[in-house]
Structure formats: C-alpha cells, structure tokens
Amino acid sequence: MKLHTSLRAPNPRRVDMFLIEKGITGIEREVYDLNAGEHRSAKFTAMNPIARVPVLELDDGRFLAESRAICSYLESLYPEPNLLGVDAEERAFIEMADRQVELTLLAAVANHVRHSHPGLLPLENPQFADYAAEQGKRMVAAAALFDQLLSKRPWMAGSRFTIADITAFCGLEFARLVKFRPADAGLKHLADWRERVAERPGARL
C-alpha cells in the first residue's frame, strides 16, 4: 500500500493519527505540495478525480480516497486496537458521532480557514469574507455544542477514544491557524478533552 498525502492538512492528518493510534507502520508515502497544486496534476486526478488528499493506493492498484473510507479499510486489515466499534451497534454509534463532528465542526473550521487565511488562497480562490465570517460563527457554535456533550461523556462518541476524537482533534488543530482555541473561548470541557487527546502518541505529529 502507498499513502498519497500532504503535510499540515486536516484530512491527511486524520489518517496519519489513525495509523499511529493503531500502530500501523511501513506504509510507503508520497507527499504532495497542495499550495503548488501538485494534487491537480493529471497523475493525481487519475487516482482521485476530485483532486483531494489523502488517497490510499491498494496493493491491487486501486485507489481509495476519503479519510473515513481509508480508516475503515485499515481497521478491517488491522482490527486492534479498535477505533471504529466492535459490533454493529457500537459501529453505528461511533459513525454517527464521527459524521456529526465532521459535518459540523471540521467542515465549519475548514470553510472558515480556507476563506479567511491568506495561506489558503492557492486552494480557495476567490476567498469570500462574508462566507468566512458565517462559517467562523458556525465553528464556534459547533465547538460550544461539543463542549456541552463532553460535560456528559469523556470522549466524542461515549466512553472511549475513537475515530470521532481523531476527527475533532484534527479539526481543532487546523483552527489554530485562525487562533481559535477551546480554552481561550471558555469551553472548559472541550479544552480538557483536547489536552487529553494532545497527550496521545497520535497527536504528536
């Protein structure tokens, strides 16, 4: 297998953190410079027509895109430690939590950063300030929502660390580019959770 990826981007980071948490090593990597547009090359879009990283090249020559799909595939090959759920019920609830984190928090962070940070102009051109501002509000609202959820449970999907925590952590790390930090926003439960995740090996990228 070979991972086609990039540095400092939240979705590639989700897969990298997943790999570390599961102790999976030895996967070859090819790193693309997104700001230089390397992922828009004919070579890359032949692997993933929507020109997004990460992409996992399988040993049979097929290309698997989408961070969550890549993680699901890797979990089927390397079941332990389990991060996606041990039975149908737990898998469904972890997927629910992960999708809610992705579609609210991570999406709002990504849209806000992409439309407001000058360093993202090569990827998001034109940038729309009004849209950035609205997405910034949604980012804060989503963070507040998960802060409330974490007052009732220790981890994003319930009682144990799962892929939903990886998705949320990678989203919040990307938000640091616009200086958004749960602790500064007074979101104590989210800040405490973030500190616990930051101590994990997968967080030290």
Check residue 115 for interaction with ligand GSH (CB under 6 A).
Answer: no
Check residue 112 for interaction with ligand GSH (CB under 6 A).
Answer: no
Alpha-helical segments (H) within 23-116:
42-47, 67-77, 88-100, 107-116
Alpha-helical segments (H) within 102-181:
107-116, 129-149, 163-175
Q: Which stretch binds ligand GSH (CB under 6 A): 7-15, 81-89, 142-150, 191-199?
A: 7-15
Check residue 163 for interaction with ligand GSH (CB under 6 A).
Answer: no
C-beta of residue 63 within 8 angstroms of C-beta of residue 22: no
CA angle 11, 38, 172 (to 5 degrees): 20
Looking up tokens 């999708």, which residue turns up? 99
- Burial track 132-155 (b if 16+ CB lie within 10 A, e otherwise): beebbebbbebbeebbebbeeeeb
For ligand GSH, the closer CB: 11 or 116: 11
Check residue 11 for interaction with ligand GSH (CB under 6 A).
Answer: yes
Among 4, 5, 9, 194, binds ligand GSH (CB under 6 A): 9
2 - beta bridge partners? Answer: 28, 57
- Considering the complex, what minimum distance in angstroms separates the CB of residue 20 from ligand GSH? 17
Q: Which stretch binds ligand GSH (CB under 6 A): 22-30, 63-71, 72-80, 139-147?
A: 63-71
Check residue 10 for interaction with ligand GSH (CB under 6 A).
Answer: yes
- Considering the complex, what minimum distance in angstroms separates the CB of residue 39 from ligand GSH? 6
The packing angle between helices 129-149 and 163-175, to 10°, is 140
- Considering the complex, what minimum distance in angstroms separates the CB of residue 154 from ligand GSH? 25
List binders of ligand GSH among 31-50 (CB under 6 A): 34, 39
The binding site for ligand GSH (CB under 6 A) comprises 9-11, 34, 39, 51-54, 66-68, 123
